[in-house]
Structure 1
């Protein structure tokens, strides 16, 4: 379910939507020098990641949904742990969590957006051979 070949694998590990082997981003989401910069194409299967200029603007809508889901998860977690906290502490907890996860939320949102448009192709993935260390 979460292995190579599933969209969840591509999304969570920020891999190419088609081959699941190439990196999706230029650098780690927390590298602020290349903040969530998507590569032009997959280094393994040569898939062009952007279908048109401003292709990833739609990922802002996905980012909103992911942020809401994380906010709800933090709230439910606080309630499940029976923490006796004020609404202000709950608010600060949610805002802090969103702030800390902001780079990863942005990266995952772009990956989700790309996975709407590109599908895994097992035949392409099998053609890619690992580089030998000689």
Structure 2
């Protein structure tokens, strides 16, 4: 993936406008801080939360990702005849809980990329 591609910004958790600044302040599995985002991009100055409750729409993306994950694991384990139903459900839900920080970040990253266009020429006024 190269800069200029929306997938680059989504999966690398980079600013959607400049693909330089980070969307999140800490590591994915820093469970106390995995959701914290800076107010602005450190490179181009883009304000990430353009309006109050901007990222509420990302909940729908996160929900779809979690449902897809649970169904995929459930069907795969069921088709393989891996285990009994209670164990398949337990494994599906456990994997879903483990993946919450990842789906949270991917959904926010994908959501902001729906509204912000890549523009590498934008520079912060405070640089």
| Structure-2-length-normalised TM-score | 0.85
d(CA) in 2 for partners of 1:122, 1:107:
23
Alpha-carbon shift at residue 88 of structure 1 (Å): 1.5
d(CA) in 1 for partners of 2:49, 2:70:
30
In structure 1, the residue matched to 2:28 is: 29
d(CA) in 2 for partners of 1:123, 1:79:
51
In structure 2, the residue matched to 1:114 is: 112
| Structure-1-length-normalised TM-score | 0.81
**After superposition, what is the alpha-carbon deviation per residue over 1:49-107, rounded to whole angstroms, capped at 9, x for unaligned?**
11101111111111101111212332344356x24311212111111111111111111
Following TM superposition, the consecutive aligned residue runs of length 4 or more in structure 1 with deviations greater than 6 angstroms are none
Q: For structure 1, which segment, 92-101 or 26-35, has the greater mean C-alpha deviation from structure 2 after superposition?
A: 26-35
In structure 2, the residue matched to 1:47 is: 46
In structure 1, the residue matched to 2:60 is: 61
Q: For structure 1, which segment, 71-80 or 28-37, has the greater mean C-alpha deviation from structure 2 after superposition?
A: 71-80
Alpha-carbon shift at residue 16 of structure 1 (Å): 0.7
d(CA) in 2 for partners of 1:57, 1:31:
22
Alignment gaps of 5+ in structure 2: none
Q: Is the 8 A contact 2:24 2:34 kept in 1?
A: no
Q: Alignment RMSD, CA only?
A: 2.0
**After superposition, what is the alpha-carbon deviation per residue over 1:16-49, rounded to whole angstroms, capped at 9, x for unaligned?**
1111111001211321232311210110111111
Greater helix content: 1
d(CA) in 1 for partners of 2:16, 2:72:
27
